[in-house]
Structure 1
Amino acid sequence: MINAFLRLASSFRNRMILIFLSITILPFILFSAYAHTKSIEGIQQANITFSMSYLEQAKINVETYLAQLNEGINSLIGDKTLQYLLERPPLSPKEEETISVDMLSIVYEKKKQMDALQLRVYPLIPADYPTYMRALEESASVGEEEWFRQAADSNVPYWQLSVSDGPNRGPLLSYIKTFTSLHSRTPRGIVVTDLADNHLSRFFSPTKRLQRQKFLIIDDKDAILFDSAENEWTGDVLPSPQLLAKRNLYNEGVEKLSIYDQEHLITFVRMDSLPWTIISLTPMDALVEPVTEMNHLLLVIIIVYLLVSIGVVIYLTRNFTQPVLRLVRLMRKLEEGDFGMYIPHQERKDEIGWLFRGFGSIVRKIEDLIAQSTRAERSKKELEFQVLSHQINPHFLYNTLESIRWKAENNGRSDIGEMVSALGNLLRLSLNQGKDITTVGREIDQVKAYVQIEQARIGMPLRVVYFFDEDMLNITFMRLLLQPLVENAIQHSIRGNFEHGKVILSGRIEEQDLVIDITDNGKGIPDSVIQALEEESEDQKMSGRSGVGLRNVNERLKIYFGLEYKLQIESKEGIGTRITIRHPILKEKLENGA
């Protein structure tokens, strides 16, 4: 960089340009930096003043609301009828039903007078009030839950936060209070009042709130009871030990701290009636966003001014040395095999224009030749695939088999009808509406149809087991891959030992590939067959041994997806064989019924 600067400053013209830029640009940049700093300080101070004023008002509103809520609960507890109903357990089911109706009426009337989501009164022994508990849609075993026992053993009311994972229900803040008799300290029951997030969010919706500014309420255990930003952090512990420590020392304050790796301007106020703290969090990038936009505009102006100032130098160089240098770079890219480079169009009529146009013409001709070669290779592979996969006319066989099945069933030979039906189903799945790809589920159905035919043909059951996750069954898959391998395992590996022979098909997803294993406990595949499968000479491909079987599947995988997707075979004589198919997860989606 230093050498480049020295070369640039060696010219008198360039030195004058640099001096001019230093005189005009540097003072402008220094002034902009000073204005930026003062603007941020002013915005921060205005936000602190507004936030503290708003938090003080929100504290008063919240405390007033909670005081009214507590008065309503005390009014319910002081109801003499409710006290009488809970004075003793009911002596009979009929009495219990009468008490349940009366209690529900009292609670319902009081609920209409209170600004709460839900109001519930629990007897100290819920099991003695089954009808009442069913009406509350609560189990009588609620008395055994930890929160209930904690409330019953304590005369001090407390708040409890419960967060539901359901899609239609948010966090609930419950006020739990155990009440006693009006004339003694004998416990009578428990009152639970539920508040939804909207009961508190109405106190934290300022019209001038900055973007991404949020308000929190935390309790004395540092847990977040309320988050105005759609309860993003509700139920979590506030991850700021510095703020929590300062909250314990002061009733209000201002801090600039980092929370979840983002710097915030924080103001807080402690409540008087409850051990809660109301906090305002404003991201610093949101505060400085207006100033940042102004700086961006200023930067654009500086860049434009700089470009205009050095325009003369650019004009002098771009018409001579730069075009030649650009052409040399393009040639080097061409030597490296980069045919996707952009070649600018030249309207010049001189030798440089002729060079650019001639070079572009040569590149286009080379691209056309490569494209022709690619199309020819693709056509060759498609023809090879058609030779490997298309064998007979399946439409004719499918229609003929349907006629045979119909005649067999009309003549009472259901076994023949089932076998022909399975064969017809196998043929239909093989046909696949003329498409080269299907789904994993349809391939498995094709294997099952083939196994059914083999069982009927040999007259004894075959043990073929399938282990596939449900989410794999609808994934796109090349057709006619599994059935030839299962057929090979049945015909050449476990044949002669069907009573103990077993074939297992299992599938899984590894990164961007489907991996399917076909395992059997048969005789194994000879090494000579596996070695021949690896050979790829033209004589072996044309020898006719590649029909429907291992070579067929192996060749199709290599033609369609490349050499890295060929079959992987592990086989030991007398122990068994495991053949692994690795198939890429295709982006193509099949139409319904494909």
Structure 2
Amino acid sequence: MTKPIRLTRLSMRYRVLFVFFVLIVVPFLLVGYIALSKSEKTIRQTNLDAVVLTGKNLHSFFHYVQNEQDKLMASDELQELMARGVRQGTDEIAFADELLSYIDSVNYSNQLFKIRVLPLDPASMPTYMHSAYGTQDVASQAWYRDIVREGRAFWKVFAPLELPGAALEPTLSDIKRLHSLKTFAPLGVVVMDIRPSMLSSFIDPVKQFPHQRIWLLTKDDRIVYATDGRYDDRPPAEALRRTALLPEHSATLRYDGQPSLVNVVPLLENELKLVSVTPLKDLDNPVSVLSRLNFTFLLFYFALSITLAGYITVKYTNPISSLVREMRDIVRHSFSETAVAESRFADRRDEVGWLYRGMYNMIREIQRLLKETKESEKRKKQLQFEVLNYQINPHFLYNTLDTIRWKAEEKQAGEIGELASSLASLFRLTLNRGKEITTVRRELALLQAYLNIEKARRDAPIPVIFRIDDALLELPLMRLILQPLVENAIRHGIADMGEEGMIVVQGGLENCRIEFRISDNGPGIPEDIRGTLLEPSAAAKRDREGGLGLINVHERLRHYFGEPFGLEAISEPGRGTTIVLIHPVLPDGSTELDE
């Protein structure tokens, strides 16, 4: 007999898949219910957003038409034509041919709008007016008299009867008076007719429902465009009255005997308005059936989710939460051996047990690697320090010994003994009995021995002023960090200044840190060098002289004490250089950097 498959015998992977399959359905239904319950508001807002977006697109298009109209009115060809047209003695027939040819060329090359050009006095150009407008008396129309007299541009809707033979639908036009760019005198009237097909390409895509109707109206509610092609209807006046002071409006009212959603968006500073009317039954019909079905499923899955949530909490959530807490404790104690205590969940035979056992194995391996890494880093620092010590420039030692030789040959004086003593002190203090840490007092003694040797070598005094706080003298200090800075100040700062050169060595406690400032009044560091002075990659490309060099001191301080410590170069061309050295305050009696 086949044993039934129990859920507890499945691996964790399949149990999680099963549980989450069920749990995914519940959130889906919940989200669906919330979405359906708010669908009416969402659909209405979407409908309004579509109308608003179309209104913005139309607004931009109308401004584009105005800009194109301005460009045409400013063109040299139209300016020259209309200027000739108002002058006396112009051949009226030849002028009419040229102007008609120009208008035809513009209209032929443009699919967005059509241009009409009218003279200020139509009676003075009968040939042109008859060819362009037949027997239509343009001069007697109110809109023409207004633009000629006042000159203020405006939008107008021309009915098909006002444009016989030119349009079968109402045509929206932008009317402006043309002026001379030279004299600013009126030259004529330019009418820009927007093709109805362009309005259709903007407005028709907004229609989302079969019974939705959309109009483009003037401010006095004349229909410019209608999606259903019926221009004898009147849009809902109540909704239009509410939009007088609003940038956009949405209202629910009865239209044609049924509740409808009316969205209105004003355009061109309320010169035009876009109106959409959609029956509410069209908006709500798609979601009414789904709402009832979703509510039934919601009740069933709500009860099921409570059971599944409890099961997942006991079987999966608690062990994983316990695992996270253990990992945090281990990290908090820096993977110490005392922080590891195996949990009872490690005895489980599923993936949770494997996860716990894998974590404990990984922790033991990390502990072993940390121990090895710590020992390796300690040895690495020792080797790096030894390598840095071997970087002392041998030319300095050779030059010093050569100085002793010629001093002995030339003077046969006691100065030779002093020079040799300074050299011996330099060697003794440099080696420091193999210790990595010296004191400020011994480092200053090493610096003084170096200066004595430099004075003998140069056979000239080296003006160095010391201003050291007495509280620093017995504090622990990394060896061989002041001499390279003073050497750099001598060779690159005051070497060519003679008696005018000056070096000041200052030392004190600043913000619980040892701070030294080595300043000279030399020419300063060039800007292109100062920016990369302490970068190892840039330092490797420069020939460096003088002890360990600035970059070696900077790298040693950073290597052993971290980012806040090291060197900083402050310099301005012609105003000298200051090297700031920041060193931590070490415990008394320190002799090794790894202690």
- Larger RCO: 1 or 2 (CA < 8 Å, sep 6+): 2
TM-score by length of 1: 0.39
TM-score (norm 2): 0.39
